[in-house]
Structure 1
Amino acid sequence: MTTFDERENAFEAKFAHDEEMQFKAQARCNKLLGLWAAEKLGKTGNEADEYAKSVVISDLEETGHEDVVRKVSGDLGDLSSDDDIRAKMAEFLVEAKAQVLNETN
């Protein structure tokens, strides 16, 4: 194997690792958002966990995060605005990235 091939493989491995970490962080963010929304809806325990899972799954419907905003917004109704939900998502993404990074170290 040449040095070029080794570098190419290293870049591919780093890209795959970075994508996996981003996916995990986004899923964690959605879970945190789901738990936040569940609390606003008065859900606790297993019911809150199940709701958070449904929020994570909703992100698989289409590209981007508007599917999550739409789901949570529809469920919360007047309890929160779309802008508040997006702000919480941004806040939780920072927290989720830190959590995922700490788990890998």
Structure 2
Amino acid sequence: MATTFDDREKAFEAKFAHDAEMQFKAEARRNRLLGLWAAGLLGLDEAAAQDYARDVIRSDFQEAGDQDVFRKIRSDLPATVSDAEIREKMAALLAEAKSQILTELGI
């Protein structure tokens, strides 16, 4: 027989799983947007920009956290783009990605 505690525990676990999935989707979308931004700075055409964005998404699977994505972008962009500018763009695009996802979900 399920208790209120059991119900609350299941609800918490479901919310945790949902939040983790949403964060993963937002980070993947942020990485695509970041790749497209960097591709624009690199002067890539549309097809090459899409390929580059996929490479940025794949770079995120090297280690936990954002450092692998940052290193990928940093190594590809010229020194005229500062580390701070890249990190600021990453933060702004994560917020944009989350907003896009919430809008698509009608939230």
TM-score range normalised by the length of the shorter chain: over 0.9
**1:38 counterpart residue number:** 39
Partner SS, residue 61 of structure 1:
coil
**1:8 counterpart residue number:** 9
> Which structure has greater helix proportion?
1
Deviation at 1:5, TM superposition (A): 1.1
Within 2, Cα distance between the matches of 1:79 and 1:37? 13
Partner SS, residue 77 of structure 1:
coil
**2:55 counterpart residue number:** 54
The aligned runs of 1:1-105 (5 Å cut-off) are 1-105=2-106
Deviation at 1:2, TM superposition (A): 1.7
Within 2, Cα distance between the matches of 1:43 and 1:32? 14
**Partner amino acid, structure 1, of 2:38:** A
Detail structure 1 runs of 4+ shifted over 6 Å in the superposition: none
Partner SS, residue 78 of structure 1:
coil
**Partner amino acid, structure 2, of 1:87:** E
Gaps of 5+ in 2: none
Identity score, percent = 58
Within 1, Cα distance between the matches of 2:70 and 2:80? 13
**Partner amino acid, structure 2, of 1:26:** E
**Partner amino acid, structure 2, of 1:90:** A
Name which structure has the greater RCO, CA cutoff 8 Å, separation 6+.
1
Deviation at 1:102, TM superposition (A): 1.2
**Partner amino acid, structure 1, of 2:31:** N
Deviation at 1:47, TM superposition (A): 1.1
**Partner amino acid, structure 2, of 1:32:** L
Q: Deviation digits for residues 44-83 of structure 1, max 9, x if unmatched?
A: 2121111001101111111111111111111112241211
Residue pair 1:40, 1:79 contacting (<8 A) in 2 also? no
TM-score normalised over the length of structure 2:
0.92
Within 1, Cα distance between the matches of 2:25 and 2:16? 14
